[in-house]
A and B are shown apart, each in its own frame.
Chain A
Amino acid sequence: MSSDLINRRAAKPHTSMFLRMLMRAAVLRRGRAASALLAMVVAAAVATAMLNLYVDVQAKLRKEFRNYGANIVVVAKDDKALPADALSKVQSAIAGHGFAVPFAYIVARTSDGQPVVVAGTNLDQVRKLDSWWSVTSWPNASQDALVGTRAAAVVSPQGKPFDLSFQLRAIHLNPAGILRTGASEDSRVYLSLQDFESWTGVQPSTIEIAASGSSDEIDSLVQKLSQSLPATEVRPIRQIMEGEARVLGKTRATLAAAAALIIATAALCVLSTLIGWVFDRRRDFAIMKALGASEGLISGFFAAEAAALGAVGALVGFGVGVGVAAWIGRVNFHAPVVPRFNVLPIVFVGSIAVALISAVLPIFLLRRVQPAMILRGE
């Protein structure tokens, strides 16, 4: 049994001693090793959190920017109605990455002959698309209308039911809610599409689309839509797209600058802790040298130690960092930041590189010193 062990060790003397020294160095100087590991973990965690945030913030902010409403609009050419299958085509093209809302418009007359724009749409979806609409109460019954605040002053000043007529056909509507947007919607009356079509027979002429994705994805969606709907004009809403691109770009650039600063600080923290740790063990270094270890072996030993520390620190730190990023996501965006595993190799390699630099630097400085001087404590 024991001769087995001796034989095995004799076969690979270097490896076995090497591993034992590594293990003992970690166990015997627990306090210092733990503080070095802690620094490593914290640095890796901060780096992971920042990189994760940087990668994910675009998606998070895009979601916020979709509150600005539609970013693509499909309009029928030359005042005709859209083809009947337009909405289903649009919906299959966006395939879950956003949604589309049809709008139909006419100019109706009030009972005293004033013109007023009446729009028919899917009110449930408009509520999702145009979240900034301030509405007293959303209509839910047939013949209920959502009346813009300026239109209300004309058609129904006391909030009483009113009549509208379009091409000699009249409709009796009940003002269920008042709409306030500060834009042209204030002068309109909104109906559900069913009420609108059974009254006027007019089909939707506009589809507003809130599509999520990068500007390239939206450009390709616009291309795809204009190919599948040749009789229409598909255009991105530049006001919304450009504002979004600008703010997003600036935010990401600021975050990148912050991430670079923070990661540099964390690396500095690791560097100073590890250099102190290795420098502190110059007596080990001197004894090894006095016992005849080659410089390469000593450097290899400290480098292996640092690499192990870096690897363990990076893995633990990655876990902690993902947690921190998720927490920031939940606090600020009310949705956790999804862990990005493509960040792991960067953090892993970076941690080991910083650890190696901070282990090899003091060795390089100690190389010129005679072991005897270190052992004498000078």
Chain B
Amino acid sequence: MFGRLVYESFRRQKRRKLLAGIAITLGVGVATAMIAVATDIGDKISRELRSYGANLIVTPQEDTLDVQIDGVDLKPPSDGAYLNEADLPRIRGTFWHHNIVGFAPMLPVSVAANGADAKNLTLLGTYFSKHLKFGKEDFTTGVRLTHPWWKVQGAWPDDNSTDVLLGESLASKLGRKAGDEIMIAGQSHRVAGILSTGGAEDNQIVAPLALAQQILGKPGAVRRLYVSALTKPEDALARRDPKSMNPEMFDRWYCSPYVASIAYQLQEAIPHSHAEQIRQIAQNEGTVLSRIKGLMLLVTLAALFASALAVSAAMATAIFERRSEVGLMKALGAGNISVAALFFAEALLLALIGGVLGFAGGALLARQIGRSIFDSQITIEPVLFPVILAIAVIVTFAGSAMAIRRAVKFDPVYALRGEA
């Protein structure tokens, strides 16, 4: 009898059930999409924050002091120690290699360019977008990943060629444009493009690393290595000194993508190196990230609140309209409990159907948001499904409870006479 009552209620009141069902579906959809976006936003924004460039720097351990003013290196290139280029691919073998977006080695050398211009210029050797191999893994890395604000007019040189990029200011001083030839250290090189960075490189020549090594006469030498890594904002554990940790805590620290633990692992991977976080980038990243995450969390709460309210309002309206039905049931001898049970059973059914449809719709919506804003997928955790379904049922019940209470308390005589 109970089953038939529920079944008939759905069969005969299609319009009302449809309205309440739509409200639940939309509410759940919005809630799902917002929760999915909010849980993934940290990941997405931290990827966007990588456009600030490298957050780690690796230097030789026994290096002499940098003599650098306004980005111009004044240290004689022969001074100091070097990293070995052959060690670089080992970065892909570290524990957190999936978090390493890219790395770029730098080797500045002084050159006399163009013969006529006797003034010493800086030629910076680096990777542009170099194919490397570590074990069976192929990957590309270079300044195009680590320095995304570098803009080239013309083309980026090939890493295996001897083509160069000219800094914007230097190019206008020398009167060169993309496609021209330039004499560097007694050899002619093609200018592949004009580089604009807004920094010291605007006055420099940027060339493939091999060319800089050849000019310096030190094959395999690298002065500095910039590493761009996705990191977790610092917390209490990250601020502790790893030397003072017990082994268990050290493992936890080592296996968290803190900027300090990634620096530690880089130091392990590259012999005789010293890795350090670039505090300007690394420290601020955490603040910006936590602000944006906090904002999205609060906005998600607002979305949950609004959709809970919409579902409650729809349920309350649907039940309020059925007072005469309640009157009839009670006149025929139904108790308060069985009337309430009927309404709750209907609400449960509506919540489950609306919850499943809403979850699917919300997942699509989140995907769409991810694709149109971040150009990447927003992944929906499967664990979200039961959570969303539970929330849908609870909100539907809570929204119906008040209306059901009032409907059950209503005097059947008034209800049957149609007096509200």
Contacts and interface: CB of A to CB of B under 8 A. Distances in A.
B309 interface: yes
B332 interface: no
Contact of A67 (B33, B198, B284): B284
A251 B67 contact: no
B185 interface: no
9 contacts: A115-B65, A150-B65, A183-B57, A247-B48, A251-B45, A255-B296, A257-B37, A269-B309, A276-B320
Interface stretch (B92-100, B152-160, B285-293): B285-293
Contacts of B69: 105, 107, 117
A183 B51 contact: no
Contacts of B194: none
B310 A183 contact: no
Interface residues of B, number: 75
Contacts of A65: 284, 288
Contacts of B19: 272
Interface stretch (B104-112, B240-248, B271-279, B345-353): B271-279
Interface stretch (A84-92, A224-232, A237-245, A296-304): A237-245
A250 B303 CA distance: 19
A258 B296 contact: yes
A50 B147 CA distance: 35
Given A50-B299, A182-B277, A258-B296, 19 more contacts: A75-B70, A105-B70, A182-B279, A238-B197, A238-B198, A238-B199, A239-B53, A239-B149, A247-B288, A250-B44, A250-B48, A251-B292, A254-B37, A255-B299, A258-B299, A262-B299, A265-B306, A266-B310, A276-B317
Interface string A89-123: 00000000000000001010000001111000000
A332 interface: yes
A279 interface: yes
Interface of A: 35, 39, 42-43, 46, 49-50, 53, 57, 60-61, 64-65, 67-69, 75, 105, 107, 114-117, 130, 132-134, 150-151, 154, 180-184, 186-187, 205-206, 235-243, 246-247, 250-251, 253-255, 257-259, 261-262, 264-266, 268-269, 272-273, 275-276, 279-280, 283, 324, 328, 331-333, 377
Given A132-B280, A250-B44, A257-B373, A238 B149 contact: yes
Contacts, number: 217
Contacts of B186: none
Interface in B292-330: 292, 294-296, 298-300, 302-303, 305-307, 309-310, 313-314, 316-317, 320-321, 324
A313 to B, nearest CB: 13
A280 B68 contact: no
Give the interface SS of chain A, mostly helix, strand, loop or mixed. helix
B369 interface: yes
B45 A247 contact: yes
Given A64-B288, A182-B278, A275-B317, A187 B66 contact: yes
Contacts of B74: 107, 115, 117
B27 interface: yes
